[in-house]
Amino acid sequence: MYKINVNCKVEDCLHYIRYVLEFFNSHPLLPEGNVFVLNEPQTQVQIDYGIQESKEFYIPCQGLIFGVTVIDNSDIVCNEYMTDTESLFSIESDKKEASPFIRNLTFGFDILETAFFHISRYEEYHCAPSNKDKWDMMWEEQQILVKNGLYQFPVVDQLVFALFQNIGLQPKKRKTSFSLSHDIDVIQKFKTPIRIFRSSVRALLDHGVTGFLNHLKTVIGVWRNTQKDPYDTFNILLIDSSTNYFNNQILYLMAGGLTEKDNYYQINDKKITSVIKKAKYLGYEIGLHGSYATHKNGVQFMKEIDSLAKATKQSINRNRQHFLHFDFHMTPKILENSGIEIDSSLGYQRLIGFRCGTGFSYRLFDFEQKQAYKWKEQPMVIMDGALLSEAANSMQAAHQILDSFIEKNQYYTHITINVHNSIFDPSKRNIKEMKSLYSKMIFAAKKPD
């Protein structure tokens, strides 16, 4: 066992550093028995931060993210630092040539600020309203990892592994693990005549005459009771957890709402009751899919938790926001006060990748209290709609993007997958091809014998 002391004399940095060290201590790549501490000099490993006082390891203090002034993304660059096997990337203010990650016990850049920037979601917390999209989220193309083409790599997990390795902790090259989740936004496509009319118009506008005719064929089949509603795909969607592919499997259900984007089903509908029963039998956890307005409405959020708890006859401790609707100033506090233990809203809408720089669950930072929240964020990494969006709705391209993503992320991280019941709609895409894509996601998570 090693105690690794980070020696820091800069008082204004201590709460940020303490948060990062807590992240290190809970990181699955940290070998068991090791612990990072702050300003405890009598330890086996010393890392000076900011002022080099010993002849051991040294991390330069940049004072950029930990400074008083809020730094805009336009003033930040990602520089490359190399190990024998990996390229790592910093958060800095000046562009530099690629250089070694560590030389003569001195690290090339401020590791602590870089890790903090990504996991705290600094850029999103300080994002100006003009840089937010209609979902109240920072435009993805404005985010540092996307701007620099690094979003498909767990840059923080890779950095953590390299740090542990270079200070002598001998971390194992851990195989990537997986979680599976499903958001149930709509239970039936053809519930009312107005819904049928709207979906028919949408099929024509989005997919042309061929799409419209496929849609009409499906409508007639459902009306004649010769086929299921296109969203009744739970026989495809839900898999038995005894296959042991995934660390966990979660079904996120809506239980109310205040906007036109919600209430496409009631939590006590017979169909939902049947889905809950099947999901439980197959080993799924049940989580709340917090409705559109709950990202700023704690009272409504609690109502939905209560409704879902009554319908499932169990406590609810997981959440993912509908449309990933997340306000970094309000939503974390709502989660903190709700009893939710794990949220999984921080993923991309239009891309697959690591929005937080890590795939592992961790505690988000409270910028007001300058400490970690009690609940954990489990970042969402692969979402079906985001994958198809990145592939411009080409199923062939989606397969290629997924193959490439899985191949380059076989180690160091965790991947949470999210697939909707409505993604198998035959009027929008070829069902056989969509099933094949879903099977590939499941196979990617298969644990070796």
Instruction: For residues 212 and 198, give the distance between their C-alpha atoms in angstroms, rounded to a whole number.
Output: 12
Fold of 177-189+229-444: TIM Barrel (3.20.20)
Pairing of strands 80-82, 87-89: antiparallel
Q: Has residue 448 got a pLDDT over 70?
A: no
Instruction: For residues 438 and 449, give the distance between their C-alpha atoms in angstroms, rounded to a whole number.
Output: 21
Is the separation of the CB atoms in 143 and 78 below 8 Å?
no
Instruction: For residues 191 and 229, give the distance between their C-alpha atoms in angstroms, rounded to a whole number.
Output: 9
Is the separation of the CB atoms in 415 and 359 below 8 Å?
yes
Pairing of strands 342-343, 318-319: parallel
Let me know how long the chain is. Answer: 449
Instruction: For residues 318 and 290, give the distance between their C-alpha atoms in angstroms, rounded to a whole number.
Output: 10
Model pLDDT, residue 384: 98
| Radius of gyration of the chain from its Cα atoms, rounded to whole angstroms | 23
Q: Has residue 364 got a pLDDT over 80?
A: yes
Q: Has residue 336 got a pLDDT over 90?
A: yes
Reported confidence tier of residue 261, pLDDT bands at 50, 70, 90: very high
Average model confidence (pLDDT) for the chain? 94
Give the Å distances, CA to CA, from 226 to 133, 194, 220, 221, 332: 42, 22, 9, 5, 46
How much of the chain, in percent, has pLDDT values that exceed 70? Answer: 99
Q: Has residue 15 got a pLDDT over 90?
A: yes
pLDDT per position as a tens digit, 341-351: 999 999 999 99
Tokens of residue 203, six digits: 């099929």
Span 91-119, mean pLDDT?
Answer: 97
Give the Å distances, CA to CA, from 239 to 4, 243, 248: 43, 8, 11
Reported confidence tier of residue 277, pLDDT bands at 50, 70, 90: very high
pLDDT per position as a tens digit, 386-434: 999 999 999 999 999 999 999 999 999 999 999 999 999 887 888 999 9
Q: Which residue has the higher pLDDT, 272 or 425?
A: 272
User: Chain-centre distance of CA 20, in angstroms?
Assistant: 19
Span 315-320, mean pLDDT?
Answer: 98
Model pLDDT, residue 447: 66
Tokens of residue 379, six digits: 């970042």
Model pLDDT, residue 253: 98
Q: Has residue 237 got a pLDDT over 90?
A: yes
pLDDT per position as a tens digit, 157-211: 999 999 999 999 999 999 999 999 999 999 998 877 777 777 778 777 877 888 7
pLDDT per position as a tens digit, 134-170: 878 899 999 999 999 999 999 999 999 999 999 999 9
Domain ranges in the chain are: 3-129+142-166, 177-189+229-444, 192-228
Nearest Cα to 285, choosing from 135, 155, 179?
Answer: 179
Q: Which residue has the higher pLDDT, 270 or 214?
A: 270
Q: What is the 3-state secondary structure (H, E, C) of the chain?
A: CCEEEEEECCHHHHHHHHHHHHHHHHCCCCCCCCEEEECCCCCCEEEEECCCCCCCEEECCCCCCCCCCCCCHHHCECCEEECCCCEEECCECCCCCCEECEECCEECCCHHHHHHHHHCCHHHHCCCHHHECCCCCECHHHCHHHHCCCCCCCHHHHHHHHHHHHCCCCCCCCECEEEEEEEECCCCCCCCHHHHHHHHHHHHHHHHHHHHHHHHHHHHHHHCCCCCCCCCCHHHHCCCHHHCCCCCEEEEECCCCCCCCCCCCCCCCHHHHHHHHHHHHCCCEEEECCCHHHHCCHHHHHHHHHHHHHHHCCCCCEECCHHHCCCCCCHHHHHHHHCCCEECCCCCCCCCCCCCCCCCCEEEEECCCCEEEEEEECCCCEEHHHHHHHCCCCHHHHHHHHHHHHHCCCECCEEEEECCHHHHCCCCCCHHHHHHHHHHHHHHCCCCC
pLDDT per position as a tens digit, 218-235: 878 777 877 888 899 999
pLDDT per position as a tens digit, 22-48: 999 999 999 999 999 999 988 889 999
* Packed helices 14-26 and 111-119: angle between N→C axes, nearest 10 degrees: 80
Is the separation of the CB atoms in 92 and 63 below 8 Å?
no
Is the separation of the CB atoms in 313 and 347 below 8 Å?
no
Q: How many CB atoms within 10 Å of residue 18?
A: 19
User: Chain-centre distance of CA 145, in angstroms?
Assistant: 14
